[in-house]
Structure 1
Amino acid sequence: MKGGGGGGGGGAVLVTTGKRRWRSLVIGVLFLVILSMLVPLAFLLGLHNGFHSPNPNPNGYVPVHKTSIVNYRSTHINDLVKKLAPNISKDVRSNFPDGAKTETSDMSATDTSHHSKVTPVSPPAVPQSLPNTSNSKIAGTVADSGRGGVDENENCELKFGSYCLWRREHREEMKDTMVKKLKDQLFVARAYYPSIAKLPSQDKLTRALRQNIQEVERVLSESATDVDLPPGIEKKIQRMEAAITKAKSVPVDCSNVDKKFRQILDMTNDEANFHMKQSAFLYQLAVQTMPKSLHCLSMRLTVEYFKSPSVVMELSQADRFSDPSLHHYVIFSTNVLASSVLINSTVLCARENKNQVFHVLTDGQNYFAMKLWFFRNTFKEATVQVLNIEQLNLESHDKAILIHMFLPVEYRVSLLSVDGPSIHSKMQYISVFSHLHYLLPEIFQSLTKVVVLDDDVVVQKDLSALWDINMGGKVNGAVQSCSVSLGQLKSYLGENSYDKNSCAWMSGLNIVDLARWRELDLTKTYQRLVREVSMGEESKEAVALRGSLLTFQDLVYALDGVWALSGLGHDYGLNIEAIKKAAVLHYNGNMKPWLELGIPRYKKFWKKFLNQEDQLLSECNVHP
């Protein structure tokens, strides 16, 4: 029994231990089941609370998109920006419209647009100070792109050579932005049109492009500035932009478009070169051709001269013309108006004009007009003599050359200057005597000293002090242009012996000692130099430059620079104070004051000596 009882007690212990193990397993399994259910639920609840999905799934499943992740990141980024960004004062905030206050929302929308094309990007707010017109919207966009997107409050690095500083200093507002926009659109549309026209499925787009191209071409043929554009041009720009956008979305062969772009670019370059050459030709034509109004004045004076043959055109004052004790001024001119302004300014600025005698040398075509003009217009007590160079007793000289070369000769010289590592090209105008100037001792045989004036000068002060200058044996008193040395004109002067460091002298205002001239026989020297030069392809003007500079070698008396200021016919940067102080203003260059091409800010110094009371000036519409 002991044995049986002992056996039964052992079996009870084993049963109890087995039950405990089973319970532990059940509890463990239940815990795992509950945990497996809680973890997904907690994860889903966390997603719902963190991303705030606006469209939850009706079944309880919330989809996770990249857009949601980006929004989550942008929200945290915006929170950090708000915490770390500097505070903006109320005054600054008040300058912005309400739309600008939602900057963070615009930033998040912009960031989202990079990942999802569904969310539209709102355009930036337009400041309220801009005019609320359709023109300003288009022009503002193009103008901003033309300035390179530079912010006005951009912080530039203050150091030498900073591109940011250079861009700020040289920024220019784009003009005629709508015309430029139309030209750009026309350029692009022409490039895409051939490729689109080859696609049978794009007939509608082909017609739209062709129609827009024709409309823009018609508009540009009639309008050169924004002011000339017809009303409703904004709609044409939008239609063209829409057609171009659709053309860009059509799959075409890029090589064809590229080829067409290159063809149009080559055609544009050729057209630009043609217009540049045409512009240069027309500019030279405008410079060298007498304006219609001045031609009318000359012709009317000539007709009036022959209609009044009984009028005594010139009083008998031969004694004054040959009196060496008087102040004699010599003018070579074919321009009635220019010579009249020159004489009028010289007389009005002189303290005494009784001793002033003016000798105007002109050609046969303008001789009678000159005579009648100076008969109709008196200049106080000064005397004016008009001479026809074709009637002068100059049998020993070639009259054909003299008639062609009797006006002062101007040269535009291109010089290279080295400034450190860079080389600059500068233009200088040099004016010298013509062939006829070297016959002055022969033409005025009884005179010993004369002042030679070009007809493109105007006098502002009394010139009587020129007659008291002792030139110390020099022949030609002139203002020198030391910006040009004879050494820089080596290509013009050849291998002749001369001082390469001496300055070039200028005509315009020259006091000439005729007595000393005759002693040295400079006329024969000039003629010898001209004969020595091999004419070849060289022009008579180039020969005159070489002969003039070499004839007066070491015989030029340098006048003080205050006597004459040159450059008013080509230099826009002259100092106004220097202009007012100069005794003589020389309008050397192409832009003469009586031409429409003249520099406006210098014209007033010339026009104030123009006598506009003559009836012929108004009849010929002379208004320089």
Structure 2
Amino acid sequence: MKAQPLLPAALKRRRGPRVAVLALVLCSLLVPLAFLFDRAPSGYVTTEERRRQEVVLPKFDHEEKRRPTGADRERQDASAVRDSCIPQDAPERKIPRSSSGVIHQQTPEKNISKSSTGVIHHQTPEKNISKGSTGVIHHQTPEKNISKVLPAPKVEPSKDVTHSTKVARDASQEDEKADEVEKAKSCQLEFGSYCLWSIEHKEIMKDHIVKRLKDQLFVARSYYPSIAKLQGQEALTQEMKQNIQDHERILSVSTVDADLPSLINRRMKQMERTLVRAKSCTVDCKNVDRKLRQILDMTEDEAHFHMKQSAFLYNLGAQTLPKSHHCLSMRLTLEYFKSSSLDSDDSPGKFSSPEYRHYVILSRNVLAASVVINSTVTSCKEPGYLAFHILTDAQNFYAMKHWFARNSYKNAAIHVLNYEAIILERLPKYTIWQLYLPEEFRVLIRSIKQPTENTRMKYLSLFSHSHFVIPEIFKYLNKVVVLDDDVVVQRDLSFLWNIDMGDKVNGAVEFCGLKLGEMKNVLGKTAYDPKSCAWMSGVNLINLDKWREHNVTENYLLLMKKFKVKDELSLRAAAFPLSLLSLQHLIYPLDEKLTLAGLGYDYGIDEEVARRSASLHYNGNMKPWLELGIPDYKKYWKRFLVRGDRFMDECNVNP
């Protein structure tokens, strides 16, 4: 067998450098790739964060200066529970505490949330608010703990001690009030005016025994798994199981104290003795704490579910016309076709004459439109020179005509128009065929420097899409006053026709607490003046000639094409930026005392201020004709309601 020839030594020496060169080439190719892969995620995150901050997320103050949130208090609660569970003879353990809460940054799309009524919630960045419990831990001073064991001598406290105690108490009360305010603001952000309504209609818990039973049941459930694992505690385990089953059986059939059985006190004492024995056992506090947290989370989730359900029913009641109002509309419609002789309007010359003061009202509610007209003519010194143009839909058109033909309002001329028929027959180029009432938007205004303190919730009412067709419908008019159907007039508005607005188009009450520069995530990329103020509908003086000169309607339609409108909800939501942008620099500021807004959501309006205002605007969900309406403000609306009508009595209309 021949032996393999050995490689020469020179050839071996040449192979070594070749391998080294190949290794260097591979490294030169892999190192740049690794550098790119390592830098790509970091570069993406940095770009995304910069984009978010430029749009909606300015920097906040340092974390050390912020108020404790619900998450911080929850961690303190957990620490207190764990400390109280540690036996006295157990060695001291260090409980690690989590870091401070993280500020969750939201994209601009998430900052604009829309409800079923086309509501836009405009918000600037806010700190993360935990959904957890916000219970307050009451700490005891060492002196109080000692006084339970040894009688303490009576010593008169010095003035300094008394003053410091008072300051500490006041500071604690201020923190609690600030916490309640913050909770209310976060609730309004999610559920809107339902939170205000629920606070005013909050029922005090009277069934204390049922509440005590539930508390005992929660504590027993938290201790039971740990007791069941202990050796030699089979009897206690069986006793706890039996007491838990008894409590569950009682609570399943009893929701109030009156439903409880006669032997409930004995059951509660048995459970209390069982819990005392369970707490005396040496158990793992982590398991008890974990079980308590599970029960707490389940309870919070259940409470939040019921709150969402209640808010849905509240919004449903706010957006739905009462059954009695539907009955009134149907009865009036039926009677209209039975009594065609009443179908007679005033002379058409009144509705185009410049000698008359013309008002335009968009409404589907017979009673609401009636109150607006009745309050206006009652407050006017010369009601015979008033002409009202009511734009309504096809469903309520005949009911409106019959109602205002049956009732007179101090010789004021009233003209009911079918908006949908006018658009289809005379203005087919406008695609807004459906009648839209003034759109209301809930706006959260939050300070960047002090996001937890200077926070306000406002309800702005703006023109809808139908308002921008008014100059085309009333081509023969030069100036009109547009009234919302949730307005009550208390003073003569004739002075509005004497105002010279110059080159302005819309005379409105400005709201400079909100400027266009604070809404760039809502207004899009369209050019606008960031210092321009928002404005509100309710009572608006419109110069139709200037409107046509500035081509406001055409500009409005062009802007609408830039906003992506997918469905009716997005169409109604688009009214917020479109109304502000279309009439930018065309608003003539009226005196803010002209209209007092907020009577549909604000419970804190002074009665004297409301009584002295020229007009009242019930913007918000709690309209005066609804059962949800604020009772203290309904009297101003009911004062101008027509009484004694046969159809109102038959339909049991009693707002």
TM-score by length of structure 2 reads: 0.65
Aligned to 2:252: 217
Aligned to 1:163: 171
> Is residue 2:209 matched to residue 1:201?
no
Aligned to 1:243: 271
> Is residue 2:410 matched to residue 1:380?
yes
In 2: Cα distance, 1:590 partner to 1:261 partner: 39
In 2: Cα distance, 1:454 partner to 1:505 partner: 14
Change (3 A) 1:492 1:236: same
**Higher Cα Rg, which structure:** 1
Offset at residue 206 of structure 1 (A):
3.8
Aligned to 1:336: 366
Matched AA of 2:312: F
In 2: Cα distance, 1:399 partner to 1:482 partner: 32
Contact 1:195–1:253 under 8 Å retained in 2:
yes
Contact 1:336–1:369 under 8 Å retained in 2:
yes
Cα deviation, 1:145-199, whole Å, max 9, x if unaligned, reads xxxxxxxxx9763448843564899999975344533332232244456677897
Change (3 A) 1:205 1:589: closer
In 2: Cα distance, 1:320 partner to 1:594 partner: 31
Segment of structure 1 superposing worse, 613-622 or 500-509: 613-622
> Is residue 2:497 matched to residue 1:467?
yes
Aligned to 1:326: 356
Percentage of pairs with the same residue: 48
Contact 1:197–1:206 under 8 Å retained in 2:
no
Matched AA of 2:362: F
Matched positions, count = 470
| Larger relative contact order, structure 1 or 2 (CA cutoff 8 Å, min sep 6) | 2
TM-score by length of structure 1 reads: 0.68
Offset at residue 586 of structure 1 (A):
0.8
> Residues 152-551 of structure 1: matches in 2 within 5 Å?
157-159=165-167, 162-163=170-171, 166=174, 175-176=205-206, 177-192=208-223, 201=235, 203=238, 206-220=241-255, 223=256, 229-230=257-258, 236-237=264-265, 239-250=267-278, 251=281, 254=284, 257-306=288-337, 308-394=338-424, 396-397=427-428, 401-403=432-434, 406-418=436-448, 422=452, 424-535=454-565, 539-551=570-582
Change (3 A) 1:162 1:259: closer
Contact 2:377–2:412 under 8 Å retained in 1:
yes
Contact 1:566–1:586 under 8 Å retained in 2:
yes
Contact 2:508–2:587 under 8 Å retained in 1:
yes
Offset at residue 606 of structure 1 (A):
1.2
Offset at residue 622 of structure 1 (A):
2.1
Segment of structure 1 superposing worse, 355-364 or 275-284: 275-284
SS at match of 1:330: strand
> Residues 41-120 of structure 1: matches in 2 within 5 Å?
111=149
Offset at residue 356 of structure 1 (A):
0.9
Aligned to 2:600: 569
Aligned to 1:584: 615
Change (3 A) 1:242 1:201: closer
In 2: Cα distance, 1:496 partner to 1:109 partner: 70
Change (3 A) 1:194 1:230: farther
In 1: Cα distance, 2:607 partner to 2:411 partner: 32
Change (3 A) 1:209 1:589: same
Contact 1:188–1:244 under 8 Å retained in 2:
no
Contact 2:342–2:406 under 8 Å retained in 1:
no
Contact 1:193–1:209 under 8 Å retained in 2:
no
Change (3 A) 1:581 1:231: same
Change (3 A) 1:191 1:295: farther
Change (3 A) 1:261 1:424: same
Offset at residue 304 of structure 1 (A):
2.4
Offset at residue 256 of structure 1 (A):
6.0
Offset at residue 545 of structure 1 (A):
2.2
Matched AA of 1:240: M
Offset at residue 388 of structure 1 (A):
0.8
Segment of structure 1 superposing worse, 579-588 or 281-290: 281-290
In 1: Cα distance, 2:507 partner to 2:543 partner: 8
Cα deviation, 1:279-310, whole Å, max 9, x if unaligned, reads 2222221221112222222222222223x144
Offset at residue 253 of structure 1 (A):
5.5
Offset at residue 618 of structure 1 (A):
2.8
Contact 1:299–1:369 under 8 Å retained in 2:
yes
Contact 1:190–1:213 under 8 Å retained in 2:
no
In 2: Cα distance, 1:558 partner to 1:366 partner: 34
Say what the alpha-carbon RMSD is for the aligned residues: 3.4
In 1: Cα distance, 2:521 partner to 2:616 partner: 29
Contact 2:342–2:402 under 8 Å retained in 1:
no
Cα deviation, 1:489-546, whole Å, max 9, x if unaligned, reads 2222223222211211111101111122222222112112212334368811233222
Offset at residue 215 of structure 1 (A):
1.3
Contact 1:157–1:164 under 8 Å retained in 2:
no
Change (3 A) 1:249 1:487: same
Matched AA of 1:230: A
Aligned to 1:139: none
Segment of structure 1 superposing worse, 203-212 or 171-180: 171-180
Change (3 A) 1:206 1:422: closer
In 2: Cα distance, 1:374 partner to 1:620 partner: 18
Cα deviation, 1:551-603, whole Å, max 9, x if unaligned, reads 22221111111111111112222232222221111111111111122222222
Contact 1:182–1:237 under 8 Å retained in 2:
no
Aligned to 1:555: 586
Change (3 A) 1:420 1:316: closer
In 1: Cα distance, 2:345 partner to 2:223 partner: 79
In 2: Cα distance, 1:323 partner to 1:157 partner: 74
Matched AA of 2:588: Y
SS at match of 2:574: helix
SS at match of 1:323: coil
Change (3 A) 1:378 1:108: closer
In 2: Cα distance, 1:211 partner to 1:451 partner: 69
Matched AA of 1:611: V
